[in-house]
Amino acid sequence: MTQTVGGEEASAHNVRAAGLLATLKNIAATLLTTGRTRLELLSNEIEEQKLRAVRMLLMAQAMLFCFGVGILLSVALLTLLFWEHNSIVIGACAAFFLIAGVLFCRAFLSTTQSPQPVFTASLSELEEDIRQLKAAMRNESSTD
């Protein structure tokens, strides 16, 4: 009789061990799938940010070119209109554009000092995954 009871205990132990191994395999597969999904999301966000940066750079270059040509033509027109005071017109325009350049430089530096987070969607998804894993671990430990 002791052999039968011992055999049943060994069989129950093997079933529990097999169940634990299957659970561990499922957890590993879930973690790998989740990790792959998060990496794909991160890759998409990097690609979007790269395209956005290139688009912004091209727009900024076009804007600067157009403003530069417009400013040069405006100064030339003012100089022609007020030809007898051309040195005053050119000096006033130079002072104005130097002051504007300093203000834009300050604005640029303040913008670069506090950049916006880039991968907010990926980070929030990872935080949610961590929260769910911690909750699942607490549930696992409370059922044991």
Is 50 domain-assigned? yes
The H-assigned helical ranges of the chain are 2-81, 86-113, 120-143
Specify whether the CB–CB gap between 75 and 90 falls below 8 A: yes
Is 87 domain-assigned? no
- In angstroms, the CA 136 to CA 23 distance is 13
Is 93 domain-assigned? no
Residues 72-91 as b/e (b if ≥16 CB within 10 A, e otherwise) read eeebeebbeeeeeeeeebee
Q: What pLDDT is recorded for position 132?
A: 81
Q: Which domain holds residue 122?
A: 2-81+114-143
> Number of folded domains in the chain?
1
Per-10-residue mean pLDDT of the chain, 144 residues long, equals 56 72 82 83 87 89 90 90 90 90 87 70 77 77 67
Residue type present at position 95: A
